[in-house]
Amino acid sequence: MSEEPHLLTEEQDGVLIATLNRPEKLNALSAETMALFEAALGRFRDTPELRVMLIRATGRFFCSGADLRSGAPGGPARTATAIRENHRRGLHGMQRIYDEMEHIEKPIVGAIHATCVGGGLEMMMSCDFRLAAKGASFSFPEGLFGVLPASNGVSRLTRICGPHWARWLIMANQKADADRALIMGLVHDVLPDEGFHDAAMEFCRHLTKQNAEQMGAAKIAIEMASEVGRDTGRHIERMANSALMLNPAYLEGIERYIQALGKK
């Protein structure tokens, strides 16, 4: 009997649902998983009717990280330069794919129902929104081996949660349950285990109703503003709005809003 695809995709109500589907391997990220995921990401990016992408998983783990048993193409790196290049270009394309997730001007939602570690957590940190079930947990096991998470684990975790919590997860090699992850700012919301996937889908449907141009501009503006000073941040806001406020959808929407206020 042939193995099921490592990633399943389906479309519902303008949402592309990508489901990690290696429950017997704790959803370890294989070459097949990442190839299918990159294809799904491109389909999401290039299909106007798809407004939101939802990433979820089957089984008792959300993701156990990179599939270490599959080995690196060409064997293990033997020099420092080769290791750095493997982080940048290898690992089944993780760094390139995770960067693309941030660059796509549409919202991507991660719905973490269970244990999420290593490369799986790096994937989730590249999402715009992270929802956790009460039973979810998060960690970077790389510290057990004496190395760092290097496909955005240090850089994005520090940007999202700050150095205070980055030390907790990476230096102290501590786990975070869903409630602590919420305190850290690692996830946006914690939802009950029962009905979790339905609740995550409902959030995605809510996002499909938002203005697509506004969300795309906001995604870029927020990323840029997080890396510059206050004055430059103001310029980013003004530049974004100079385009958005010429959009007919805005002009029609603000007129309806003003008329509605007048009737109250």
How far apart, in whole angstroms, are the C-alpha atoms of residue 133 and residue 95? 26
How far apart, in whole angstroms, are the C-alpha atoms of residue 213 and residue 192? 32
How far apart, in whole angstroms, are the C-alpha atoms of residue 253 and residue 251? 6
Q: Which H helix or E strand runs over 211?
A: none
What is the pLDDT tens value at each position of the chain, 264 positions in all?
Answer: 357 999 999 999 999 999 999 999 999 999 999 999 999 999 999 999 999 999 999 999 999 998 877 655 455 668 888 777 777 666 778 899 999 999 999 999 999 999 999 999 999 999 999 999 999 999 999 888 888 887 788 999 999 999 999 999 999 999 999 999 999 999 999 999 999 999 999 999 999 999 999 999 999 999 999 999 999 999 999 999 998 998 888 888 888 988 888 777
Tell me the pTM. 0.91
Distance, C-alpha 136 to centroid of its chain:
16
- pLDDT, tens only, 62-119: 999 988 776 554 556 688 887 777 776 667 788 999 999 999 999 999 999 999 999 9
CA distances from 88 to 96, 143, 194, 205 (A): 8, 20, 39, 35
- pLDDT, tens only, 193-209: 999 999 999 999 999 99
Alpha helices in the chain (DSSP H): 31-46, 80-89, 94-103, 118-125, 153-166, 178-184, 196-208, 212-225, 230-244, 248-262
Cα angle 166, 168, 171 (rounded to 5 degrees) comes to 85
